[in-house]
Amino acid sequence: MLQGFKQFMLRGNVLDLAVAVVMGAAFGAVVTALVKDLITPLIAAIIGKPDFSAIVFTVNGSRFLIGDFLNAIISFLLIGAAVYFFIVLPVNQLLARMRRGEAAPDPTTKKCPECLSDVPIAARRCAFCTSQFSETDRALPTSSIPSRSV
């Protein structure tokens, strides 16, 4: 029983997830400090309020903390932008570079010359319009048959 737990804990995905959670929490704290200590005062200087957290209104004794909500929105947008520009975009570019030398996979479907629906490449008859394929139609994958406008 403990051996199974040990295998589970040492599996790569679990460790990667644990590191991601810790790094995400640390990164969130940095971005929150950036918003609270630098961006909010800069925006507040333009608007005229010294601190967003001071923006509140009261209805029947209930306080609505609009400033804290604005700080949270700005933090969320900055974290999203940082994740996209510093993680997602570079990884996508790296994967695209790695795939440049690869050949395109062989097609698995072809277009029916009559109804233009996708059918398996080995089909002798279209499943949609039941037209029969000639020998040349059987050899043409989807990408080689020009599409017709209907």
State the amino acid at position 8 in one-letter form: F
Q: CA distances (Å), 91 to each of 7, 12, 82, 105, 128, in order?
A: 29, 19, 13, 22, 41
The β-bridge relationship of strands 62-64 and 118-120 is unpaired
69 pLDDT exceeds 60?
yes
Helix (H), strand (E) counts: the chain: 6, 4
- Model confidence band, residue 150 (pLDDT cutoffs 50, 70, 90): very low
101 pLDDT exceeds 80?
no
> For the segment 40-51, what is each residue's pLDDT rounded down to a tens digit?
778 778 877 666
| Domains of the chain and CATH, by start | 2-99 (1.10.1200.120), 109-143 (no CATH)
Looking at per-residue confidence, does 88 or 137 come out higher? 88
Contact of 67 with 52, CB cutoff 8 Å:
yes
